[in-house]
Amino acid sequence: MKMKTIMLVCAAGMSTSLMVSKMKKAAEAKNMEADIFAISASEFDDTLASKEVNVVLLGPQVKFMLKQFAPKLADKNIPIDAINMQYYGMMNGEKVLEQALHLIEG
């Protein structure tokens, strides 16, 4: 399986960094190679320009930015979605990882 790069976007990066840790543990449990990282919304354009990503997930705090970010990803065929609120609230890294993989696989 090819390495997956999953970018999480949030307001400041604090709670989402905990989600990154949980998702990395879930990926390890599946013996999956994954580059999972979190950025703040203000870093979106620069990160996209400098790094190849497979999927973008928005934290609940910035899900309103979906309409702003989606057009920037459309021509790159990078799926984007908001993280399921329930999974985020429970810090369920396994479910959020599944959400990301489902988006990548279409």
Catalytic residues: 10
Radius of gyration of the chain (CA): 12
Q: What Cα–Cα distance (Å) separates residue 70 from each residue in 2, 27, 57? A: 24, 26, 11
Q: How far is CA 98 from the centre of its chain?
A: 11
